[in-house]
Chains A and B, each alone.
Chain A
């Protein structure tokens, strides 16, 4: 393993993480809900859900997009936007994200942040599992198949 120190951004990572933690704390203390993005989105788009439960989910996601946009505009862009990524990887992967987060009841935020923060065994096992399969998947894509250097 070689560590790419030139790309390492510890202070941005820690402060961004702290903002995410403040968000999860505000949602929890404010309205008693777990800040799990797949759960919030799943409840919004599942039309069988009680409609009274939908407005806060929509506002949270609109806020999320707005918060990212504000920092993007204020900073003038912290990174280069990716382009030319294989669309079949993007769409196939996104479908697996959708199925997997509903089947496994959570994603990086619900299991990884909120679950670990309250020492949940389910959160811990889910996090170890998705980290492992994500590491393996990137290894297979980048080093076993090396898709044209575009990935």
Chain B
């Protein structure tokens, strides 16, 4: 049951990324290039996505559990800290260097594997580097 929701949500997400042209790194970089010929399209992707998602969150406040019976995994509402901001800063640099954030990186496998394969391998290597080593300075290796 929950796997069906995951597959359906994945299909919608990939279709949305493609329709919004976020799978095109040239489009993304044209949005991030404020000093060049600026393409504001991607701001509207955020507007559309946030508006619909906000409705989803509002609906869930009237529900006991999700449709598959799993509890809602509300992320903890903490305050911003240096780890959050430092990570976000590094992520933004990487996004600006490549034109791909993680979702479009996966979507690009369908469109441009010559870029998506090295991108995803390096991204996962970076994730594992953080999870296994950089995040735990006390444990060796």
Contact = CB atoms under 8 A, between A and B. Distances in A.
Give the contact-size bracket for chain A: 35 or more
**Looking at chain A's contact residues, is the secondary structure mostly helix, strand, loop, or mixed?**
helix
Contacts of B48: 13-18, 20-21
Interface of B: 2-27, 29-30, 32-57, 59-60, 63, 65-68, 70-73, 75, 77-80, 83-103, 105-112, 114-115, 118-131, 134-135
29 contacts: A2-B38, A14-B44, A16-B18, A17-B16, A19-B16, A20-B52, A21-B56, A28-B53, A28-B56, A32-B65, A33-B70, A37-B102, A37-B106, A48-B131, A59-B3, A62-B10, A63-B7, A67-B14, A82-B26, A85-B25, A90-B97, A92-B97, A93-B100, A99-B129, A108-B103, A109-B13, A134-B92, A134-B95, A137-B32
Contact of B2 (A31, A85, A142): A31
Contacts of A26: 5, 8-9, 12, 56
Given A9-B21, A16-B16, A107-B101, 5 more contacts: A27-B6, A57-B6, A94-B100, A103-B90, A143-B35
